[in-house]
Amino acid sequence: MPVTIAIVGAGPSGFYAAEALARAAVDCRIDIIERLPAPYGLIRYGVAPDHEKTKKVTRSFERTAGHERVGYYGNVELGRDLTLEELRGLYDAVVVATGAPLDRPLGIPGSDKAGVYGAAAFVGWYNGHPDFRDLDPRLDSPGVAIIGNGNVALDVARILAKTPEELSSTDLPDYAAEALRRAPIVELNLFGRRGPVQAKWANVELREMGHLADCLPVVDPAQLPESIADGLSERDRRLQEKNLATLRGFAGLEAGKQRKRVYFSFYAKPLEVLGGGRVEALRLERTRVEAGRAVGTGETFEVPCGLVVSSIGYRAEPIEGLPFDEGAGAVINRDGRVAGGLYVIGWAKRGPIGVISSNKPDGVTLARQITGDIDQGRKPGGPALERLLAGRGARWVGFADWKTIEAAEVAAAPPGAPRRKLIGVDDMLAVLDAAAGPPGGAG
């Protein structure tokens, strides 16, 4: 009997793991279980809509899904449709690959005011994630504050800074394109608690900020150090030098006809969100960096804004039956092992660190662990899962179904755009109903 393995989560870590297991020497059957009908996790719902090339990795995931050992159960949520205990009863190994979908809270006074959003929610909104399509973010003020100095903060700034023409060849949902078109935003402030050399940007993303049609990047040259401190790895040194050179280039740019400005503000720690019911300004404290940490100087300042997006990291979502480290916001594990026959990979294991390909080694490690830990299959896997789901009236979506949904999205794409995403789960299921034809009909 083959070893049965359930991977929960169809993001990059889930697919890399399925790929490694599909190649493993041991006879196994791998089922990927995903809460949404659509696979690919943050590739579909996180990667910026104007970075279509980054999403091309899904082609190799598609090949993995087509492998004879691999099955796909979309629209099935662990915790909603079945418990972890039930799943462990059905499969020899259960692999948690559910990512880190929750925003780390900003945790300053006033951060509950209307107009303050975490990046997970805001990015989910402009990427058409069904959980966030009704976010209706406050985009009616000229000023925006974006907190955090990572790539996601740059994504948010860029999407808010781009013109409708620049966004027209993306898969931005119509509701988001329309809201952004109407938004009177002209001033974007990117705040980092520490200095420019501590920022975690990829240089290619930072450079993009210098090539926007209607937005000028503004940097105060006084905030840029002359040189980089000693003691860094060669890789970090090179990255920091590149980013500093890019920022120096921004500092030397002449203002043209751009309507918008994106201000890079370093050494600024948010203290309080100000306003009545909704955000009107952000109060910050100037900092200096001591031994790599931001230390407040006591000097404060305020920046008017109607929208605050905080991009200061993500946390995994606790799942009943899984030991959880509240501090790290991740599942407690020893190199991916959680308990006998229970494993964790990707952002649920490591926290929100690394790019898509950083999840690949987890899959390789996992395949080695499972093939070493489990010598033969004992549990029924897919057929028993289907019986359990059918008994509960749960409707799962196979990979061929997903391809039907995807084809409908591509067919509906406006000229030049890759797809028009179907947003609601119901909308996706309706495509399948339409493709199946009327009940009892010949189609």
Interaction site with ligand FAD (CB under 6 A): 8-14, 33-36, 41-42, 46-47, 51, 54, 77-79, 97-99, 101, 123, 152, 155, 346-348, 354-356, 358-359
**Cβ–Cβ < 8 Å for 185, 139:** yes
CB of 355 or CB of 390, closer to ligand FAD: 355
**Cβ–Cβ < 8 Å for 385, 6:** yes
Q: How far is the CB of 64 from ligand FAD (least distance, A)?
A: 13
CB of 9 or CB of 275, closer to ligand FAD: 9
Measure CA 209 to chain center.
Answer: 20
Any bridge partners for residue 303, and if so which?
282
Q: Which of 405, 428, 363, 441 is nearest to 11 (CA)?
A: 363
* Phi (first) and psi of residue 398, to 5 degrees: -80, 175
* 357 CB-near residues (< 8 Å, 6+ apart): 12, 57
The CA distance from 81 to 173, in Å, is 28
CB of 12 or CB of 196, closer to ligand FAD: 12
Q: How far is the CB of 207 from ligand FAD (least distance, A)?
A: 14
The CA distance from 319 to 417, in Å, is 37
CB of 61 or CB of 250, closer to ligand FAD: 61
Q: How far is the CB of 401 from ligand FAD (least distance, A)?
A: 16
Q: How far is the CB of 41 from ligand FAD (least distance, A)?
A: 3
**Cβ–Cβ < 8 Å for 174, 246:** no
The CA distance from 266 to 285, in Å, is 11
Q: How far is the CB of 213 from ligand FAD (least distance, A)?
A: 21
* 289 CB-near residues (< 8 Å, 6+ apart): 194, 195, 198, 267, 295
CB of 134 or CB of 299, closer to ligand FAD: 134
CB of 200 or CB of 283, closer to ligand FAD: 200
Q: How far is the CB of 166 from ligand FAD (least distance, A)?
A: 17
Q: How far is the CB of 437 from ligand FAD (least distance, A)?
A: 29
The CA distance from 150 to 311, in Å, is 8
CB of 9 or CB of 173, closer to ligand FAD: 9
Cα dihedral across residues 42, 45, 49, 52: positive or negative: positive
The CA distance from 391 to 98, in Å, is 25
CB of 34 or CB of 285, closer to ligand FAD: 34
Q: How far is the CB of 151 from ligand FAD (least distance, A)?
A: 6
CB of 46 or CB of 71, closer to ligand FAD: 46
CB of 100 or CB of 215, closer to ligand FAD: 100
Q: Which of 165, 121, 113 is nearest to 141 (CA)?
A: 113
Q: In the complex, which residue's CB is closest to ligand FAD?
A: 11
Angle, helix 12-22 to helix 58-65, in steps of 10 degrees:
50
Q: Which of 317, 426, 427, 359 is nearest to 40 (CA)?
A: 359
CB atoms under 10 Å from CB of 90, counted, come to 20
DSSP string for residues in 378-417: -S--HHHHHHHHHHTT---B-HHHHHHHHHHHHHTPPTT-
Q: How far is the CB of 327 from ligand FAD (least distance, A)?
A: 19
Q: How far is the CB of 402 from ligand FAD (least distance, A)?
A: 12
Q: Which of 291, 344, 235 is nearest to 17 (CA)?
A: 344
Q: How far is the CB of 270 from ligand FAD (least distance, A)?
A: 20
CB of 118 or CB of 377, closer to ligand FAD: 118
